[in-house]
Amino acid sequence: MPDCHFEAILPSWLKEFFAEHSEALLSDSERMKFAIELARQNVINGTGGPFGAAVFERSSGNLVAVGVNLVVQSNCSHAHAEMLALAIAEHRLSSYTLNQPGFPGYELVSSSEPCAMCFGAIIWSGVTRLVCGASTIDAKHAGFDEGAKPEKWIAELENRGIEVATGICRNKACAVLQLYLDNGGVVYNGRAR
Secondary structure class of 160 (helix, strand, coil): coil
SS3 letters across 95-125: CCCCCCCCCCCEEEEEEECCCHHHHHHHHHH
CA–chain centroid gap for 128, Å, is 15
pLDDT at 107: 98
- Cβ atoms of residues 126 and 98 within 8 Å: yes
pLDDT at 18: 81
User: Where on the phi/psi map is residue 48: left (φ > 0), alpha (ψ -120 to 50), or beta?
Assistant: left
**C-alpha span between 17 and 184 (Å, rounded):** 24
**pLDDT exceeds 90 at position 142:** yes
**C-alpha span between 53 and 39 (Å, rounded):** 8
- Encode pLDDT of 70-106 as tens digits: 998 888 889 999 999 999 999 999 999 999 999 999 9
- Cβ atoms of residues 111 and 146 within 8 Å: no
Residue 163 falls in the annotated catalytic set = no
pLDDT-derived band at 169, boundaries 50, 70, 90: very high
pTM of the predicted model over 0.95: no
Check residues 128 and 77 and name the one with the higher pLDDT: 128
**pLDDT exceeds 50 at position 126:** yes
The chain-wide mean pLDDT, for the chain, equals 93
pLDDT-derived band at 190, boundaries 50, 70, 90: low
**C-alpha span between 113 and 81 (Å, rounded):** 11
pLDDT at 193: 46
Mean pLDDT of 45-55: 96
37, 82, 107, 113: which is the annotated catalytic residue?
82
pLDDT-derived band at 65, boundaries 50, 70, 90: very high
**C-alpha span between 128 and 114 (Å, rounded):** 15
b (16+ CB within 10 A) / e for 65-83? bbbbbbbbbbeeeebbbbb
pLDDT at 9: 83
